Amino acid sequence: MERIASFNKSQLRELFNETAIKKQVTPAIAEKDFWVTWVLSKIFADGYLSKILMFKGGTSLSKVFKLIERFSEDIDLILDWNTVTQDNPLLARSNSQQNKFNQSLNDSAHEFMQDQILPKLNALLQPICQCELDHTSKLVIQVNYPAVFNDLYLRPQILLEIGPLAAWLPFGEYAITSFAAEVYPQLFTQATCQVKAIVAERTFWEKATILHHEANRPAGSKLPLRYSRHYYDLAMLASSIVKNSALADMRLLNDVVEFKLKFYPRNWAKYEECLTGNLKLIPPDYRLKMLHDDYRQMRSMIFGNYPHFNDILNKLQQLENEVNSLH
């Protein structure tokens, strides 16, 4: 992978063009996929970073588990909270005390990222890529890679979204491969790299509780941009073998709900209803047009079958009924 990373722009353009044709994606996606994989390989090959960071989220569903056919361009990482606090985050606290603790933990994480993680990443990735703290979020590091393609939807940067307020368990160790290495393994001295990632079953329940949160969002509160991806992701998970193993472990749903109630409390989200047969995965009707539009804008990011959004909603309704019948 190091050899490919040092290719000149002409060589990279040829490789990613040919990869895009074989994988039926845009050249910009083939390109960014390589750099996402390369950055992950550098992080988890490092003896220090691999001990304090964990891979999670939508990108893990595609890169690690091959459960979705959506290109997810950023990397979600959990920072081990023991690196930034000596207090026990799980101690019982009042709401005001918890909010104060969360803020303090995130502030400490920001300082740690600035003083420890950012210099380490630059040492690992330079001179090929340049890293800097994101200007809009204090818990994001921006990795600028040497892009040779332009794309209206894709940024020529990878955002490392690093936060301490996430559960570290359960996880496993997995091998991942870039699109380019899948198509042209002979060009790579090592086509795969190892990462640590949260298991897909936990991500299944994380996604389900996100949709429940959105189903209960007050009418006057705006739906976040690019949220149609969560509906697509969960529908794909509901069509995979992960659904059965997730539904067989309702204790994991309980863990996810308890974590959100403690660290991300919102009364209107009604997370506790997920545990009483009242899980909601379908958004209210007045949200549908925005979600349909958002999903259409995401079209180029889905490199496999592109299901109609109504089919996604139908699959989610079936899943909602199935989960609620278990209580």
Rounded Cα distance between 200 and 104, Å, is: 30
Two tokens at 195? 């990462």
Q: What is the pLDDT of residue 100?
A: 96
Single-letter code of the amino acid located at 56: K
**Tens of pLDDT, residues 289-320:** 999 999 999 998 998 899 999 999 999 999 99
User: What DSSP string describes 49-100?
Assistant: HHHHEEEESHHHHHHTS----B---SEEEEEPGGGT-SS-TTS---HHHHHH
Contact (CB, 8 A) for 256 and 199:
no
Rounded Cα distance between 161 and 179, Å, is: 22
Q: What are the φ and ψ backbone dihedral angles of 227, each rounded to 5 degrees?
A: -85, -10
Strand order in the sheet with 171-177: 130-133, 140-144, 157-163, 75-79, 53-56, 192-198, 171-177
CA dihedral sign of residues 20, 25, 29, 35:
negative
Q: What is the pLDDT of residue 327?
A: 84
User: pLDDT over 70 for what percent of the chain?
Assistant: 100
Q: What is the pLDDT of residue 300?
A: 87
Q: What is the pLDDT of residue 154?
A: 87
**Tens of pLDDT, residues 10-57:** 999 999 999 999 999 999 999 999 999 999 999 999 999 999 999 999
Contact (CB, 8 A) for 237 and 243:
yes
Contact (CB, 8 A) for 35 and 159:
no
**Tens of pLDDT, residues 257-295:** 999 999 999 999 999 999 999 999 999 999 999 999 999
- Element spanning 159, H or E: strand 157-163
Is the per-residue pLDDT at 256 higher than 90?
yes
- What CA–CA distances, in Å, run from 272 to 85, 96, 200, 216, 265? 28, 20, 22, 12, 11
Contact (CB, 8 A) for 128 and 6:
yes
Contact (CB, 8 A) for 290 and 231:
no
Give the residue from 76, 74, 245 showing the smallest Cα distance to 145. Answer: 74
Give the residue from 9, 7, 20, 11 showing the smallest Cα distance to 178. Answer: 20
Give the residue from 316, 260, 266, 268 showing the smallest Cα distance to 288. Answer: 316
**Tens of pLDDT, residues 148-166:** 998 877 889 999 999 999 9
How would you classify the pairing of strands 75-79 and 157-163? parallel
Angle at 63 between CA 281 and CA 203, to 5 degrees: 30
- What CA–CA distances, in Å, run from 181 to 40, 103, 187, 228, 286? 14, 41, 7, 29, 44
Rounded Cα distance between 240 and 249, Å, is: 15
Cross-strand bridge partners of residue 171? 198
Q: What is the pLDDT of residue 55?
A: 98
